[in-house]
Amino acid sequence: MGSDFVRRFFRDKVAVTGLILVIAVFIVAIFAPYIAPYPPDAIDPSHPLQPPSIHHIMGTDSLGRDVFSRMVYGARVSLLVGFVAVGISTLIGTILGAIAGYYGGWVDTIIMRFVDIMLCFPTFFLILAVIAFLNPGIINIMVVIGLTSWMGVARLVRAEFLKLKSQEFTQAVVAVGARDLRIIFKHILPNAMAPVLVAATLGVAGAVLTESALSFLGLGVQPPTPSWGNILAEGKDNIEIAWWLSFYPGLAILITVLGYNLVGEGIRDAIDPRLKDE
């Protein structure tokens, strides 16, 4: 099964392209101190808003800071927020979806009605409302995004549990008297993780977009910590004279989100090739 999945995935040229983009962003984030030519917060008042040149390949911002260095370190922030937020949302969604799907009845009704209530609120505006009561910062952003984006995972896991709990291998484990927690986490959950993996991959892209949007609005990662969103926000204020402040962070966000979306679609098609024709 594993070798078939890998073969189908790497046969998909679009998915492989997405994987290359994701790996490239990872390499930039991990080796940021060695790639960035300057410290990300190094101010040079004598060279504000300089266009791209040999010394500053992506130009400088209004404080004379090297945009390329800030972009490189901004990759760390975006990926950190993406993975931590998705980790929180996946954990919550998986647990609640597993409980709802396995026990059914009134337990399922209560959990799924709570999911429906959460889905009634536009996620981004819900995040804005919560952040308004908290101090903007990277930790709060990660937690808030994670706590407001688990509903889709819960629905996926519930659907898989409803399908798997009636199959023969589950009935056999129940017949030998295994405990519920053992049945849920050792026997059913591993077989229900395929759609969760797809949702988590796509969720990283969504979390990167959300963090960038919040930072762009001044409610996310706060300066001087570099983030693609707050670099883009500065570009908005200088769009007529410093195009590079908007172009490069926008391009980085596009590449990252596109990469994760392509990988997520590739994983989905590799898990079940029949979905590719739908």
Q: What is the pLDDT of residues 99-143, one digit of tens each?
A: 999 888 899 999 999 999 988 888 788 888 887 777 777 888 888
- Write down the pTM of the prediction: 0.87
Q: 214 with 141: CB under 8 angstroms? A: yes
Q: 262 with 24: CB under 8 angstroms? A: no
Domain 2-32+66-271 has CATH 1.10.3720.10: yes
Q: 26 with 204: CB under 8 angstroms? A: no
Mean pLDDT of 81-87: 92
Q: What percent of the chain is modeled with pLDDT above 90?
A: 43
Q: Within a 10 A sphere around the Cβ of 203, how many other Cβ atoms?
A: 27
- pLDDT-derived band at 276 (thresholds 50, 70, 90) equals low
43: CB partners within 8 A, 6+ apart = 63, 64, 65
Is pLDDT of 277 > 60? no
- pLDDT-derived band at 3 (thresholds 50, 70, 90) equals confident
pLDDT for the residue 97: 93
Q: 23 with 253: CB under 8 angstroms? A: no
Which tens digits make up the pLDDT trace of 133-183? 777 778 888 888 998 889 999 999 999 988 888 787 777 887 777 788 888
- Residue 240 structure tokens: 């007529």
- The rounded distance, in Å, linking the Cα atoms of 38 and 121 is 43
Q: Give me the residue spans of the domains in the chain.
A: 2-32+66-271
